[in-house]
Structure 1
Amino acid sequence: MTTFLTFTILGLVLGSVYAIAASGLVLTYNTSGIFNFAHGAQAMLGTFLYWQLTYGWGWPMWLSLVVVVGVVGPAMGAILHALIMKGLRDTADVTKIVVTVAILLGMLYLSQWIWHPEEARIMEMFFGSGAKIEFAGVVIRVHEIICLVVAAAIAVGLRLLFTRSRVGVVMRGAVDDPDLLRRCGHNPDRVAALSWAMGSTLAVLAGVLITPIGGGALEANALTLLVIDAFAAAMFGRLRSIPRTFVGAMVLGMTATYVMAYFPTDWTWSGNFRVSLPMIILFVVLIVLPQDRLRGAAIRTRERYRVPTVRKAAVWGAVLVAVVFLLTLLMEETSVTTFALGMTFAIIALSLTVLTGYAGELNLAPLSFGAVATIVAFHFGVSGTGLAARLTLWGILLAVLVTAVVGGLVALPALRLRGLYLALATMAFGVFLSTMVLRDTVEHTLFGRTFSIFPNGTLIVPPLKIGPLDLRDPETFLLTATALFSLIAVGLVALRGSGYGRRLAAMKDSPAAAAMLGQNLVKLKFGVFMISAAIAGLGGVLMASASGSVAGENFAVMASLGLVMLTVVGGIGYISGALFGGLMSGVGFTIMVGTFNDLAAATPAMETIYKSLGQLAMVATALIGMGVGKNPSGTVHDIIEGYRSLRKARPVLIGGAVAEAVLYVLTLTGVIGNWWFAILSACLGMMLPVFGKMIMPEAVLSEEELARRRSTPLELAGIDEPYTEELRRRLDRELGLPSGVDRAPRVPAPRAAEEGDVHVVA
């Protein structure tokens, strides 16, 4: 009985902290309609700051709490809303999700920059672990009592806030109908800012409370995922009900402690199961709870994508292969290997193009499907041993087939889910795979055969060999991966233009309308999930083969979130967006960090500056993701639109091509280095549309833009140019006035006296 009471109290304490964190999620979602995936990162950042103030600088505990929970927490939420969140109205779910994911990654990079991950940091319980009382034979620490009391007070306070106060009613109305709320004299943005401040405060408080309970050293990724476990409690209340959220949190906490107490010790997987339990419960809750009804597209989102023809896609695919071949002549072998790794990430990113860009379905764990394929290929697709080991074609095909089936199995229970719920379901699958499957390094016996899913925590995947094609050569591997990317891309463009692709687009635009027209949404989702999983599986196997060996961290959910974010930044609906996201995720980070580390090693006097610049580059990448709300169609969309305006300015395009060819020849002959070639090529690519507007404005600019350029600046109207009717209409347009408004009668300007005029002299 003592054991039961002990673990029950521990479960209630853990559940109380989950309840505090989940309440913050409910607050922000109810007032802004945005699910904050960065909630755990906010808790992590606040906890690190609390450690710095209390243990790093020696501040009193109470003063550190006041500063972190009472000042920094609310300020963090209010600033996030003012700078980012309020600009996310009329954007698709994927854009809202990716912006918060970018904030999560940015906070992780920022914490690793300020607090080096290799330094151990320990937090003690409030008043020390020795401050405790005994109740019914169970020892309860004061810190745990504080957690229970604070959670109960917050539960009662939030309940009264939403049901008995005018502020709570206004908060609920801020997301339901902000225009109606504004007509009633309230400011929806101010209400949402208040809720984000409160939500951030609760996140920080949860992080400070839960860290001493879990024990161990502070670690950014672990603490972020620990608070993310509260997602299950928030979904138990369907992001609306505070009481149900608290009940779900208590069930979550007690279940985790009961598993730790009563599972047999000889079950080698019980520890991984306990860590994975919150994500399992989250997945089950998402499936069991009733979903919202199908809705039409009441508000058009701001995302716009142009799908090329199959012929254009094939031409650009051939151009990509040719460009990569020319680049291999400039690169060293290590650079070629790194580039090949980035191209395999680009193949995985193509799975997001078809699933999210074309069909509007969300997957936050694409690398997890790559992990499934890699495990299958390792166990069933490798022939030979040692240096003679090779990956077989049949092994890759089997891995892709099994991954497609797994994708279908994951999709089956999630077929009822849409939007945010589907994103959370795939994230739960990714975390479960990372914490339960990829950590399984012990041997198991099944049907008389001994095996290990992830032996020694590392999988060694040799390169593929088919007849004369041997991918052990880095250049051959890179060109093969590029050719596969181009072939899959052309196939996806053809799929998008087919009847099946048009049905996917209809489902993305309006599920209700597609269902009313007789489309089977279950079959559509099932099919596109299997296609997406198969592509991700192929890319995962190639990624493992390019690396030579992979560990579980290579398929972690944080890596998946980074790939999703960068693909959306590039343009989730574009093939080139997948290329951008894959190369940046697989190559960009490695090149940035490696370059600054090399510079730091070469110049010890500036080591600190160069390493800080490397960390700053990582944070800046996340900042780009935060800006997706202002440009939801992606970076590639802007680039394409800029170059589309140059179609009539062929001399500019020819001049740019000649300049690029000259740079290539200079690099090939050793006159300039590879870095100068990359920098100058990037500058030329970005500036060419600008040069076109400067050199040939008549061919590049529209008639309206040309007229605006030629016209007198508005501040000089009536000075350098008389008030004509055309100028008055232009002023109306610029000031936002309706055309044809009534004006006071205009007095004609006096004219000069002419011969023959009659003058009356008084």
Structure 2
Amino acid sequence: MTSFLAFTFFGLFSGAAYAIAASGLVLTYTTTRVFNIAHGALGMVLSFVFWDFSVRQGMPLWLALFLVLFVVAPAVGWFIQRFVTRGLGEGPVSVSLVVTVGLLVGCIGLATQIWPPEPRSIQPFFPGVNIEMFGIFVTAHQLITIALSGVVAVGLYVLLNRTRIGTAMRASVDNPELLKLFGGKPEQVAALSWAIGTSLAALAGVLLVSTVGLDYYALTLLVVNAYAAAMLGKLKSLPMTFLGAMVLGLTTSYASGYLPTEGVLNSVRNVVPALFLFVVIVAMPQAQLRIGQVKGIVSAPQPSLFKALGWGGALLLGVAFLATAMGESKLLLLGTAATYAMVMLSLVLLTGYGGHVSLAQFTFAGVGALAYVKLDQPNLVGLLLSALIAAGVGALVALPVIRLTGLYLALSTLAFGVIMEKMIFQADFAFGFNGTLDAQRLSVLGVSIDSSAAYVWVMSLFFVLMGLFLLWLRRGTLGRMLIALRDSPAACGTLGLDARWFRVGLFGLSAGMAGLAGALYAGLRGSVGAAEFQFFNSLPLLLLAVVFGVTSVTGAALGGIGLMLLPVFQSSSPSMAGLIFAVIGFGAVALGRDPNGLANQVFKLGRLLDRRFGSSIRARIPVLPAPGEAQRRVREEAEANAGAAPSLAGVGLHADPADDQYSDGSHDIPLRSDPRQEVPADAAPRG
């Protein structure tokens, strides 16, 4: 009984902290329609600020807490709303998700750059003060956390439902233009919401940091718990959000205390929040079609088939040339870039064409790699089966949430990625006790591709084939349906188009492409492990796909190279590793509204150069006549000259296609296009 009470109080403490974080998340979403994926990352950064003020700067604890909660956090929230998320609620959900994911990655990079990794700790409030209740000791810090969660819940409920500013907050979402007519200021209301929400994220981080520790990723990913609690409240009900947080905290505490420490159930202890999130999403009611004006994304221009084949051939020639001049380590990097590029092609289909966001695309690549190794068929059949298994898993992920769209689909992939990493990839039956498995190189028609140079070229060939497939798909009927469903699902619904099974097929095909890339990657490396397919790796993958252009094959190729170079730059300049990460994250924030990315700028530069220098260059290139063209021109010229020199026929002259002249063996007679032109005397017929 004593242990049960101890786990209960610890669960209430954890749930109270989750409730505070989830309340801030619900507040920002309710008032601005922007789901802040970076909510936990903001709490993490502000927890480091609190440590810096209280420990490194030596400020009194109460002063450091006041500055963080009432000065720094509100300023950060105002800045984010003013310069990052302003107007995102009116656009596609995929854009707001990408921008906030970029903010998350940028915050982690910024924290690691300002506060490099080293042991740090923060003491709880009133350390050493314990209160005995029902035979167990409860710390003052835990009681303060539980009390603050109740104060926050009641305060936010009163703010939103009983005050004029709360009414303005809700009205700023429903109809901001009407709010302006009544003298309201929607932008100021939204900024106030983000200031309060960021302060609540900071408070949750400060309350949890004494238990979790100052860890960049642990504090950031704890927000998954807040997502689950917020989803139970349907992102609008604060009482249900508070209840969901408490239930989640208790469930997590009981699971850690009573589940066995061995076997499959041991891994369940680490994924309770993700399972809770997935179950809540599956139980969500049917999502309503979003109506309003169509805000389509202007996609990158589609090249013609001739251009696509030409650029694909040029890429294969370039890879063949580079592969012959590279060492083994450089070839592995080049093959890794091809893997990343193929996974990004799956995002081009899913996000660029379909408008859906996957936060676990690298997990599908891991499924393909694991299937390739377990099947033990290093040939085209095994490669195809691996892709089909990954496609089936992707369809299964989308199937439970077939009634939902946008945000819920993205969060379901997030929960899936966490579950796969903790329960499957880290289990002994997956990648073994050591966490790695050996893989064999691919063989084609019985011929094993043992050379790394040849294998990298084959991977590039698969990238080209996948790119051509996407371009073919985009030009066809399915491609037009994808774009229509992305830009206006409501309009497609009124036309009778059922997008639910179409969405499942899209997720399956995208996952299959990622699984194919993972299988090829396993053959390239010779051994693969669970660490290479961590859930968090999918976030920079998504961001670089957006930065370089998630709507084009060119963007995927450039993004694959960029993601491959990221660890190279970080290892060459360890002191700048966090800064590079921050640049990628905040770069995605800047370019998130333009999914065509840097590839679109390359296209614009190419068109500019073509207008400036293209005509002069083409004029200098000799054009070879088509087969039979010279003979046709000879006949036409001869018929035109028939009126001026009718006796030319039958005198033994022959056509010389090389210079388009008649010759009788002794004289060269230029062709005449004007029959009135005089024929020279020495060209008169003889006899």
TM-score tier by shorter-chain length is 0.7 to 0.9
- Bigger radius of gyration: 2
What aligned pairs does 1:390-405 form with structure 2 within 5 A after superposition?
391-405=378-392
CA distance in 1, matches of 2:170, 2:258: 42
CA distance in 2, matches of 1:167, 1:544: 56
Deviation at 1:178, TM superposition (A): 1.6
2:320 maps to which of 311, 325, 330: 325
Aligned 8 A contact 2:549 2:599 in 1 = yes
Counterpart position of 1:645: 608
2:409 maps to which of 417, 422, 427: 422
CA pair 264-332 structure 1, distance change in 2 beyond 3 A: closer
Deviation at 1:615, TM superposition (A): 3.6
- Is 1:126 matched with 2:125? yes
CA pair 320-378 structure 1, distance change in 2 beyond 3 A: same
**Which is worse superposed, 314-323 or 139-148?**
314-323
**1:650-684 deviation line (CA, Å, top 9, x unaligned):** 359959x99xxxxxxxxxxxxxxxxxxxxxxxxxx
2:565 maps to which of 588, 594, 613: 588
- DSSP 3-state at the match of 1:245: helix
1:567 maps to which of 529, 545, 548: 545
CA distance in 2, matches of 1:319, 1:532: 26
Amino acid in the other structure paired with 2:515: G
CA distance in 1, matches of 2:19, 2:576: 39
Counterpart position of 1:480: 458
**1:349-371 deviation line (CA, Å, top 9, x unaligned):** 11111112222222111111111
Counterpart position of 1:162: 160
Q: What residue ranges of structure 1 are gaps of 5+ in the alignment?
A: 383-390, 442-450, 597-610, 659-762
CA distance in 1, matches of 2:57, 2:266: 36
- Is 1:65 matched with 2:76? no
Counterpart position of 2:522: 544
What aligned pairs does 1:331-370 form with structure 2 within 5 A after superposition?
331-370=326-365
Aligned 8 A contact 1:348 1:366 in 2 = yes
CA distance in 1, matches of 2:595, 2:86: 14
- DSSP 3-state at the match of 2:437: strand
Aligned 8 A contact 2:260 2:266 in 1 = no
Amino acid in the other structure paired with 2:468: V
Aligned 8 A contact 1:411 1:529 in 2 = yes
Aligned 8 A contact 1:92 1:303 in 2 = no
Counterpart position of 1:242: 238
- Is 1:578 matched with 2:556? yes
1:255 maps to which of 247, 251, 254: 251
Counterpart position of 2:204: 206
Amino acid in the other structure paired with 2:123: E
Amino acid in the other structure paired with 1:578: A
What aligned pairs does 1:88-237 form with structure 2 within 5 A after superposition?
88=88, 90-117=90-117, 119-128=118-127, 130-214=128-212, 217-237=213-233
2:510 maps to which of 532, 540, 545: 532
CA pair 358-503 structure 1, distance change in 2 beyond 3 A: same
- Is 1:433 matched with 2:396? no
CA pair 620-55 structure 1, distance change in 2 beyond 3 A: same
**1:573-608 deviation line (CA, Å, top 9, x unaligned):** 2111222222222x1202322343xxxxxxxxxxxx
- DSSP 3-state at the match of 1:573: coil
TM-score (norm 2): 0.86
Deviation at 1:452, TM superposition (A): 4.9
Deviation at 1:42, TM superposition (A): 0.6
Amino acid in the other structure paired with 2:260: P
**1:499-545 deviation line (CA, Å, top 9, x unaligned):** 22222222222223323333232221122121111100011122233
Aligned 8 A contact 2:259 2:266 in 1 = no
Counterpart position of 1:695: none
Deviation at 1:629, TM superposition (A): 4.3
CA distance in 2, matches of 1:159, 1:502: 45
Deviation at 1:38, TM superposition (A): 0.7
Counterpart position of 1:498: 476
CA distance in 2, matches of 1:580, 1:375: 27
Deviation at 1:409, TM superposition (A): 1.2
Runs of 4+ in 1 over 6 A off after TM superposition: none
CA distance in 1, matches of 2:305, 2:58: 65
CA distance in 2, matches of 1:87, 1:578: 27
Aligned 8 A contact 1:43 1:224 in 2 = yes
CA distance in 2, matches of 1:400, 1:570: 25
CA distance in 2, matches of 1:560, 1:464: 25
- DSSP 3-state at the match of 2:399: helix
Aligned 8 A contact 1:87 1:629 in 2 = no
CA pair 654-2 structure 1, distance change in 2 beyond 3 A: farther
- Is 1:45 matched with 2:8? no
What aligned pairs does 1:296-315 form with structure 2 within 5 A after superposition?
296=291, 298-315=293-310
CA pair 432-654 structure 1, distance change in 2 beyond 3 A: farther
**1:286-342 deviation line (CA, Å, top 9, x unaligned):** 111213312345242454333333343222211221232333355444222212101
1:509 maps to which of 463, 472, 487: 487
- DSSP 3-state at the match of 1:134: strand
Q: What residue ranges of structure 2 are gaps of 5+ in the alignment?
A: 622-687
CA distance in 1, matches of 2:566, 2:235: 35
Deviation at 1:284, TM superposition (A): 1.1
Counterpart position of 1:619: 582
Aligned 8 A contact 2:349 2:470 in 1 = yes
Deviation at 1:246, TM superposition (A): 0.4
Deviation at 1:274, TM superposition (A): 1.8
- DSSP 3-state at the match of 2:497: coil
**Which is worse superposed, 347-356 or 107-116?**
107-116
Aligned 8 A contact 1:365 1:557 in 2 = yes
Aligned 8 A contact 1:569 1:625 in 2 = yes
Amino acid in the other structure paired with 2:83: L
Deviation at 1:67, TM superposition (A): 2.1
Counterpart position of 1:666: none
CA distance in 1, matches of 2:276, 2:562: 34
CA pair 302-356 structure 1, distance change in 2 beyond 3 A: closer
CA distance in 2, matches of 1:340, 1:652: 38
- Is 1:285 matched with 2:259? no
**1:44-98 deviation line (CA, Å, top 9, x unaligned):** 1111222233333433222221222222211211111222111536532222111
Amino acid in the other structure paired with 2:6: T
1:412 maps to which of 399, 404, 428: 399
**1:548-591 deviation line (CA, Å, top 9, x unaligned):** 43332321222101111111222222111222222222x12023
Counterpart position of 2:14: 14
Amino acid in the other structure paired with 1:280: L
TM-score (norm 1): 0.78
**1:593-633 deviation line (CA, Å, top 9, x unaligned):** 2343xxxxxxxxxxxxxx44454233222221110245343
Aligned 8 A contact 2:294 2:488 in 1 = no
Deviation at 1:547, TM superposition (A): 3.4
What aligned pairs does 1:552-701 form with structure 2 within 5 A after superposition?
552-585=530-563, 587-596=564-573, 611-629=574-592, 631-651=594-614
Aligned 8 A contact 2:259 2:269 in 1 = no
CA pair 56-105 structure 1, distance change in 2 beyond 3 A: same
CA pair 616-340 structure 1, distance change in 2 beyond 3 A: same
